[in-house]
A and B are shown apart, each in its own frame.
Chain A
Amino acid sequence: MTVNGTGTGQVPILQVRDLRVTFNTPDGPAPAVRGVSLDVLPGETLAVVGESGSGKSVTMLAILGLVQGARVTGSAVFDGTELVGLDTGRLRSIRGAKVSMIFQDPMTSLNPVLTIGRQLSLVMRAHQPHLSKQAAAQRAIELVDRVAISQAARRCESYPHELSGGMRQRIMIAMAIANNPAVLIADEPTTALDVTVQAQIMELLDELRRESGLALVLITHDLGVVAGAADRVAVMYAGRIAETGSVLPLFEAPAHPYTRGLLDCLPRLDIRHDVQVSIPGVAVSPLSLPPGCPFAPRCSYAIESCDLAEPVLTQHGDTMAACDVLTGAGTRR
Chain B
Amino acid sequence: MPLLLLGIASIVFIVSRLTPADPLVQIIGERNLSNPEVVAAAKAQWGLDSPVPVQYVKYMKNLVQGDMGTSFSTRKPVFDDLVDRLPATLELTFTAMVIGLVFGVGLGVLAARNRNRIVDHIARFFALIGSSLPAFWAGLLVLYVFYAKLGWLPGPGRLDPRATEPDRITGFFTIDSLLHGDFSTFRAALAHLILPASVLGWGVVGIVSRLVRASLLDEFSMEYVKVARAMGLRERTVVNSHALRNALLPTITIVAFTFAFLLTGAVLTETVFTWPGVGSYAVNASRSLDFPAIIGVTILGGFAFLMTNLITDIIYAFADPRIRLS
- B74: min CB distance to chain A, Å: 50
Is B246's CB within 8 Å of the partner chain A? yes
B325 with A162: CB separation less than 8 A: yes
Q: Indicate whether A122 sits within 8 Å of B237 (C-beta atoms), given known contacts A110-B224, A113-B321, A172-B227.
A: yes
Chain B residues near A105: list those with CB within 8 A.
Answer: 223
- B115: min CB distance to chain A, Å: 12
B325 with A127: CB separation less than 8 A: no
Interface residues on B, range: 20 to 34
Report the bound CA distance from A161 to B326 in whole Å: 11
B232 with A126: CB separation less than 8 A: yes
Contact mask for chain A residues 143-163; partner B; CB cutoff 8 A; 1 contact, 0 none: 000000000000000010110
Chain B residues near A122: list those with CB within 8 A.
Answer: 228, 233, 237, 241-242
A112 with B246: CB separation less than 8 A: yes
Interface residues on A, range: 20 to 34
Q: Which of B222, B223, B230, B234 contacts A101 (CB 8 A)?
A: B230
B322 with A176: CB separation less than 8 A: no
Is B49's CB within 8 Å of the partner chain A? no
Contact mask for chain B residues 244-268; partner A; CB cutoff 8 A; 1 contact, 0 none: 0110010000000000000000000
Q: Which of B230, B234, B249, B325 contacts A64 (CB 8 A)?
A: B230
- In the complex, 30 of the A-B residue pairs with CB atoms within 8 angstroms, ordered by the A residue number, are A64-B230, A66-B229, A66-B230, A92-B233, A92-B234, A93-B232, A95-B229, A95-B231, A96-B231, A97-B232, A100-B230, A100-B231, A103-B230, A108-B223, A109-B227, A110-B224, A110-B227, A111-B242, A111-B246, A112-B224, A112-B246, A113-B319, A113-B321, A114-B242, A122-B228, A122-B242, A123-B231, A123-B233, A126-B233, A175-B231
Chain B residues near A97: list those with CB within 8 A.
Answer: 232
Is B160's CB within 8 Å of the partner chain A? no
- A12: min CB distance to chain B, Å: 22
Report the bound CA distance from A91 to B87 in whole Å: 55
B321 with A176: CB separation less than 8 A: no
B233 with A113: CB separation less than 8 A: no
B232 with A95: CB separation less than 8 A: yes
Chain B CB count within 10 A is highest, among A66, A100, A109, A161, for A109
B226 with A112: CB separation less than 8 A: no
Say whether chain B's binding surface is mostly helix, strand, loop, or mixed. helix
A112 with B321: CB separation less than 8 A: yes
Q: Which residue of A lies closest to B229 (CB)?
A: A66
Is B320's CB within 8 Å of the partner chain A? yes
Is A94's CB within 8 Å of the partner chain B? yes
Q: Which residue of A lies closest to B244 (CB)?
A: A113
A113 with B230: CB separation less than 8 A: no
Q: Which residue of B lies closest to A124 (CB)?
A: B231
Report the bound CA distance from A140 to B251 in whole Å: 31
10 residue pairs, one from A and one from B, having the closest CB atoms: A96-B232, A96-B231, A95-B232, A108-B223, A159-B321, A109-B227, A111-B224, A126-B233, A123-B231, A101-B230
Contact mask for chain A residues 107-137; partner B; CB cutoff 8 A; 1 contact, 0 none: 0111111100000001100110000000000
New contact pairs (20) apart from A93-B232, A103-B227, CB-CB < 8 Å: A64-B230, A66-B226, A95-B229, A96-B230, A97-B232, A101-B230, A109-B224, A109-B227, A111-B224, A111-B228, A111-B246, A112-B246, A114-B241, A123-B231, A126-B231, A126-B233, A126-B234, A159-B325, A172-B227, A176-B231
Q: Which residue of A lies closest to B224 (CB)?
A: A111
Report the bound CA distance from A175 to B231 in whole Å: 8
- B248: min CB distance to chain A, Å: 9
Q: Which residue of B lies closest to A104 (CB)?
A: B223
Report the bound CA distance from A103 to B231 in whole Å: 11
Q: Which of B222, B230, B242 contacts A95 (CB 8 A)?
A: B230
- B192: min CB distance to chain A, Å: 40
Report the bound CA distance from A127 to B232 in whole Å: 8
Report the bound CA distance from A161 to B224 in whole Å: 13
Chain A residues near B322: list those with CB within 8 A.
Answer: 112-113, 159, 161
Q: Which residue of B lies closest to A96 (CB)?
A: B232
Chain A contacts with B in 204-251, Cβ cutoff 8 A = none
Chain B residues near A111: list those with CB within 8 A.
Answer: 224, 228, 242, 245-246
Chain B CB count within 10 A is highest, among A97, A108, A172, for A108
Report the bound CA distance from A93 to B232 in whole Å: 6
- B247: min CB distance to chain A, Å: 10
- B261: min CB distance to chain A, Å: 27
- A271: min CB distance to chain B, Å: 40
B241 with A92: CB separation less than 8 A: no
- B274: min CB distance to chain A, Å: 45
Report the bound CA distance from A100 to B242 in whole Å: 19
B224 with A108: CB separation less than 8 A: yes
Report the bound CA distance from A213 to B229 in whole Å: 25
B226 with A103: CB separation less than 8 A: yes
Report the bound CA distance from A161 to B228 in whole Å: 17
Report the bound CA distance from A131 to B31 in whole Å: 85
Chain A CB count within 10 A is highest, among B232, B242, B319, for B232
Report the bound CA distance from A114 to B258 in whole Å: 27
Report the bound CA distance from A64 to B246 in whole Å: 26
Report the bound CA distance from A94 to B246 in whole Å: 27
Chain B residues near A112: list those with CB within 8 A.
Answer: 224, 246, 321-322
Chain B residues near A101: list those with CB within 8 A.
Answer: 230
Report the bound CA distance from A94 to B232 in whole Å: 7
Report the bound CA distance from A71 to B227 in whole Å: 21
Chain A residues near B245: list those with CB within 8 A.
Answer: 111, 113-114
- B222: min CB distance to chain A, Å: 7
A103 with B232: CB separation less than 8 A: no
Report the bound CA distance from A161 to B324 in whole Å: 12
Chain B residues near A95: list those with CB within 8 A.
Answer: 229-232
- A111: min CB distance to chain B, Å: 5
Chain B residues near A64: list those with CB within 8 A.
Answer: 230
Chain B residues near A100: list those with CB within 8 A.
Answer: 230-231
Report the bound CA distance from A96 to B227 in whole Å: 10
Contact mask for chain A residues 164-175; partner B; CB cutoff 8 A; 1 contact, 0 none: 000000001001
